[in-house]
Chain A
Amino acid sequence: MAKVTMTVNGRKVSGEVPGNRLLVEFLREDQRLTGTHVGCDTSQCGACVVHVNGKAVKSCTMMASEADGADITTIEGMAEADGTMHPIQQAFQDNHGLQCGFCTPGMVMSAAALLKDNPNPTEADVRHYLEGNICRCTGYHNIVKAILAAAGQDVSKIAAE
């Protein structure tokens, strides 16, 4: 067992973890932050994307011990303290960017990483960036639309699909 300490959504947390503890297990099971989902568990689907020191990472494919000292943001850290949604979350709601919602936490975290690097992406940029995030419900169109809307673009001319 080793002691790990990290800042999760602005709060300092620590715990004793065995060597084989995954970051996603630490977040979901030890911290009870179950917003981060596990879809494939093999670094394919992106449902588990969180930010580690500002970078999008698949938390099912990183050991908790490797995140010792890191600054982590999960989907729970996106909304304001009063419950006001983050603009990306709001855009997903406004543009019907989710159906079952399973992929959504990872989609929102990937979208946030994209918009930080590229605040005004093209549709092609968004689709390319989401290569590692799989959704089996929406067909992606409204996810892409939501992200473009969150970037402040006029999406009224893009047909709802």
Chain B
Amino acid sequence: MYAFDFEQPKTIAEAVAALADDEAQPLSGGQTLIPTLKQRLAMPSKLVSLTAIPEMKGVCMNGNTLCIGGATPHAVVAAEASAYPALAALASNIGDPAVRNRGTIGGSIANNDPAACYPSAALASGATIVTNSREIAADDYFQGLFQTALEEGEIVTEVRFPVPQAANYQKFVQPASRFALVGVFVAKYADGVRVAVTGASNDGVFRWTEAEAALSANFSPSALDGLSVSADGMIGDLHGTPEYRAHLIGVMTKRAVAAAS
């Protein structure tokens, strides 16, 4: 690999200071970034590791909100987020065990891969993305393919999920990568149902608002009868056509509602 410096701060404040340097980039679990560095698709001159910062790790409850530190690995969420079973189940199916031992929620949300699992949970839960400088609503945070509201040098320190009355995530696995070919997260709150779709759209994770309205009126799979998503703007690649992905959204949403209700 090309040469770069490595720093491992112990506090958020130290990490933010180290990242003030233009050429620096945060490193969390490295499961996406290290392969990217090897391919030289990114070439920061300094990596600032976030994994030795105790205040960015762990899972806790605050009232009815589940808080997850930005540098918490997927395996820890799978084991400790029992207050939000659908989220724990999602974490337990990301990649493989070794990826889950290193990969983190902050890295996943910051990367915003169009086929990643966590963005759908954050959007469907109306989560709050907490950074070193502000709080961002999930609806404002995800801004398209690999795009987020994060500014240069800003880091995700925590993600806060209001715990729903019922929820489920259904992932149609792309068997080679184990990412979602299509993944749908459905979450039912007292004030309505939210449905977020990952893996499918050229614009990354999005809310299926028609399904939300139908499910808010009647939380059952049959409420989705007759609803469909247009194939326009869906991803087409060797794993599936836009029409196939659009169809899968309906199928996965029905399965998620059936499993949640």
Residues of A within 8 A of B (CB): 2, 18-20, 22, 41-43, 46, 49, 52, 55-58, 60-63, 65-66, 68, 110, 113-114, 129-133
Contacts and interface: CB of A to CB of B under 8 A. Distances in A.
Contact of A63 (B30, B38, B75): B30
B234 to A, nearest CB: 26
10 contacts: A2-B6, A20-B1, A43-B98, A57-B102, A66-B8, A66-B30, A110-B97, A110-B98, A113-B97, A131-B95
Nearest to A69: B52
Interface in B27-44: 27, 30-31, 34-35, 38
Contacts of A114: 97
Nearest to B47: A19
Nearest to A46: B98
A118 B97 CA distance: 13
Nearest to B95: A132
Nearest to A18: B3
Q: Is the interface of A mostly helix, strand, loop or mixed?
A: mixed
A19 B6 contact: yes
Nearest to A17: B6
Q: Give 4 nearest A-B pairs by CB, closest first.
A: A132-B96, A19-B6, A42-B35, A131-B96
Contacts of B237: none
A9 B70 CA distance: 31
B99 interface: yes
B34 A46 contact: no
A41 B8 CA distance: 23
A61 B100 CA distance: 12
Chain B interface mostly helix, strand, loop or mixed? mixed
Contacts of B49: 63, 65-66
Given A61-B30, A61-B102, A62-B102, A132 B6 contact: no
B11 interface: no
Nearest to A68: B8
Nearest to B27: A63
A36 B186 CA distance: 42
A58 B99 contact: yes
B90 to A, nearest CB: 15
Given A41-B38, A61-B31, A61-B34, A20 B98 contact: no
A2 B47 CA distance: 14
Given A43-B34, A56-B98, A132-B178, 5 more contacts: A18-B3, A43-B35, A68-B8, A113-B97, A133-B96
Contacts of A52: 101
Contacts of A133: 96
A46 B46 CA distance: 27
Contacts of B35: 41-43, 61
A62 to B, nearest CB: 6
Nearest to A2: B6
B98 A57 contact: yes
Given A42-B35, A61-B35, A132 B99 contact: yes
A55 to B, nearest CB: 4
A63 B98 contact: no
A55 B75 contact: yes
B97 A19 contact: no
Interface string B215-253: 000000000000000000000000000000000000000
Contact of A129 (B6, B38, B52, B97): B97
